[in-house]
């Protein structure tokens, strides 16, 4: 109970953590969706044997351990790294980059599978009725939207739930890069179990709300 | 309208179509007949530029379609109703409007044409219904409306009346005749029904095992078929 009081008590530090979590993961998912849906659709519309290698690559990355992504992004952003001059390490931007890298293969891969699985007839019908390349792609996306929203949901879950990558590239700095998952790790280590549980519950509640919103987006009303 | 020269289509190692020479003169209703697996649907898909021939060529008004710059532009002069029509998720209106919208027509024009066409196929009362909820016969009529609304130069129909009751068969046959007579559209119609072919078509093409067995004016082919296979097919079909 104390856990809930702590959480609901509008503790400004806590609110900040929640806000940052939502901002980082939200932005990462948006970026992943923006890139992943078109890319996945494009891949899904090509003949399977033409995209065997990219597909394998994406499937592998779908299961990539977050710490590994954390390490890669860390190396990229560290002072000796390719993007070291930007000085982004231990900033929320670095966390967004890491989570985008984590969510992108999921959104892309699941979109690709959904588009590929869609009946060939849908495409033929669109083409036959005079749709051009873009119009065909848009039609297929519209017909596949339930599964594509599912892909985004899975990507969002991945971003919101992971801790390894944000820990490494964000550094869990209080008031700057601390998010819910890293705060849970910290509070647990400190023995503040109530706080950790409270944060866990908030995380769960947020996941529920986000999924409820996305579910509406699927427009599951035809049945 | 179309002329085929040495046209062949192969799937894997199997040749499913080989037509040395065949033409579909403009402005007529052509029947395409033959047993299951004869290659009728394959031929329609080739004409609609949904498949590329393995060999040979298709001429559209004397133009080699393989060399023609834009397949899209060419395809937009035709409309096809598939053997198993697929309707898009959305309302009946959305479905019928699709071909007009992708051609960039303005909304008021689209509305008017769609309404008229739905009335013509007797489905105006279903305009707002979800396409997924339609019966087989209703769906087939929506698919036909979706093709007719385009007012194409070529109408390719793959057994468009197979799911319909006699009243609606008559209705659609009138519509097909009207499109052909009114707009001068060339119609190529796949049908298993000899009576329908007699009622509707000016010429028929008999196919078997991917080859054209016989073709000519409908009355001629039906009253005095030259080929034994054609005769057998007509006799067999007379059973129903
Ligand atoms: N995509 C494909 N891959 C492999 N084989 C195919 C493909 N499409 C058609 N075929 C084969 O080509 C042959 C001709 O098929 P088609 O659909 O043209 O026949 P049809 O004359 O329309 O028959 P039906 O009257 O039963 O509709 C069939 O044996 C079919 O199995
Ligand atoms: Mg067929």
Delimit the domains of chain B by residue range. 2-235
A202-222 residue pLDDT tens: 889 988 888 888 778 776 544
Residues of A in contact with B98 (CB under 8 A): 126, 129, 131
pLDDT of residue B240: 41
Asked if this assembly's ipTM is beyond 0.85, the reply is: yes
Confidence of residue B176 (pLDDT cuts 50, 70, 90): very high
Q: Are B238 and B196 in contact (CB under 8 A)?
A: no
Least confident piece of the model among B40-44, B66-70, B183-187, B198-202:
B66-70
Residue B219 makes CB contacts below 8 A (sequence gap 6+) with: B198
Integer Cα distance of A134 and B93 in angstroms: 22
pLDDT of residue A6: 56
Kindly report the average pLDDT of chain B as a whole number: 91
Phi and psi at B189, nearest 5°, equal: -120, 120
Counting as low any pLDDT under 70, the low residues of chain A are 1-10, 219-223
Residue B41 makes CB contacts below 8 A (sequence gap 6+) with: B83, B158, B190
How deeply is B101 buried, as exposed, middle or buried, from its count of CB atoms within 10 A (0-12, 13-18, 19+)? middle
- The conformational region for residue B39 under phi > 0 = left, psi -120 to 50 = alpha, else beta, is left
Q: Partners of B18 in the beta sheet? A: B8
Interface of A with B (CB under 8 A): 119, 121-122, 124-132, 135, 139, 142-143, 222
Q: What is the CATH number of the domain that holds A215?
A: 1.10.3720.10
Test site for ligand 1: of B42, B54, B162, B163, most ligand atoms within 8 A of the Cβ:
B42
From A119, which residue of chain B is nearest by alpha-carbon distance?
B86
Mean pLDDT of B148-158: 95
Q: Which fold has domain B2-235?
A: Rossmann fold (3.40.50)
Whether A121 sits inside 8 A of B48 (CB atoms) is no
CA of B194 to the centre of ligand 2 (A): 16
Residue B237 makes CB contacts below 8 A (sequence gap 6+) with: B192, B193, B194
- Alpha-carbon distance values, B198 to A122, A173, B30, B33, B185 (Å): 33, 83, 11, 12, 19
pLDDT of residue B238: 47
Q: Are A69 and A102 in contact (CB under 8 A)?
A: yes
pLDDT of residue A1: 54
Ligand 1 neighbourhood includes B84 CB (under 6 angstroms): no
B6-32 residue pLDDT tens: 999 999 889 999 999 999 999 999 999
- Render B110-153 in DSSP notation, one character per residue: HHHHHHHHHHHTT-GGGTTSBGGG--HHHHHHHHHHHHHTT--S
B113-144 residue pLDDT tens: 999 999 999 999 999 999 999 998 899 999 99
Domain count, chain A: 1
Whether A126 sits inside 8 A of B98 (CB atoms) is yes
pLDDT of residue B230: 83
Domain that holds residue A17: 2-222
Q: Are B131 and B89 in contact (CB under 8 A)?
A: yes
pLDDT of residue B71: 87
pLDDT of residue A221: 47
């Amino acid at each position: 109970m104390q856990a809930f009081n702590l959480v609901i008590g509008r503790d400004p530090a806590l609110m900040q953590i929640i806000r940052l979590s939502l901002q980082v993961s939200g932005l990462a998912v948006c970026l992943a969706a923006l890139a992943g849906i078109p890319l996945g659709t494009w891949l899904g519309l090509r003949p399977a044997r033409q995209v065997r290698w990219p597909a394998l690559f994406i499937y592998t990355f779908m299961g990539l351990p977050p710490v590994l992504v954390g390490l890669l992004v860390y190396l990229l952003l560290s002072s000796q790294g390719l993007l070291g001059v930007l000085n982004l390490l231990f900033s929320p931007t670095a966390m967004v980059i890491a989570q985008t890298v984590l969510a992108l293969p999921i959104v892309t891969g699941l979109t690709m599978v959904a588009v590929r699985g869609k009946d060939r007839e849908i495409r033929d019908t669109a083409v036959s009725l005079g749709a051009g390349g873009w119009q065909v792609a848009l039609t297929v996306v519209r017909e596949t939207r339930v599964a594509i929203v599912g892909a985004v949901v899975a990507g969002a879950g991945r971003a919101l739930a992971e801790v390894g990558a944000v820990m490494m590239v964000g550094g869990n700095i209080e008031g700057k890069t601390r998010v819910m998952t890293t705060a849970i790790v910290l509070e647990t280590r400190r023995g503040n179990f109530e706080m950790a549980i409270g944060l866990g519950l908030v995380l769960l509640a947020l996941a529920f709300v986000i999924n409820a919103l996305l579910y509406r987006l699927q427009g599951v009303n035809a049945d | 309208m179309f002329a085929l020269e040495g046209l062949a289509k192969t799937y894997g190692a199997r040749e499913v179509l080989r037509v040395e020479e065949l033409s579909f003169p403009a402005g007529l209703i052509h029947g395409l007949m033959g047993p299951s697996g004869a290659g009728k649907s394959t031929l329609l898909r080739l004409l609609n530029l949904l498949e590329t021939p393995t060999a040979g060529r298709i001429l559209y008004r004397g133009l080699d379609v393989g060399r023609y710059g834009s397949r899209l532009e060419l395809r937009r002069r035709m409309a096809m109703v598939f053997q198993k029509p697929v309707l898009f998720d959305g309302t009946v209106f959305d479905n019928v409007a699709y071909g007009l919208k992708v051609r960039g027509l303005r909304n008021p024009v689209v509305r008017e044409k769609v309404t008229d066409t739905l009335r013509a196929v007797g489905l105006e009362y279903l305009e707002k219904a979800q396409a997924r909820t339609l019966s087989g016969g209703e769906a087939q009529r929506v698919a036909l409306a979706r093709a007719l609304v385009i007012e194409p130069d070529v109408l390719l129909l793959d057994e468009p009346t197979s799911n319909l009751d006699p009243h609606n068969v008559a209705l659609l046959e009138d519509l097909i005749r009207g499109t052909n007579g009114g707009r001068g559209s060339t119609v190529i119609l796949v049908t298993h029904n000899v009576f329908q072919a007699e009622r509707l078509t000016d010429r028929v093409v008999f196919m078997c095992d991917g080859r054209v067995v016989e073709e000519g004016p409908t009355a001629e082919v039906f009253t005095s078929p030259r080929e034994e296979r054609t005769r057998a097919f007509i006799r067999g079909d007379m059973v129903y």
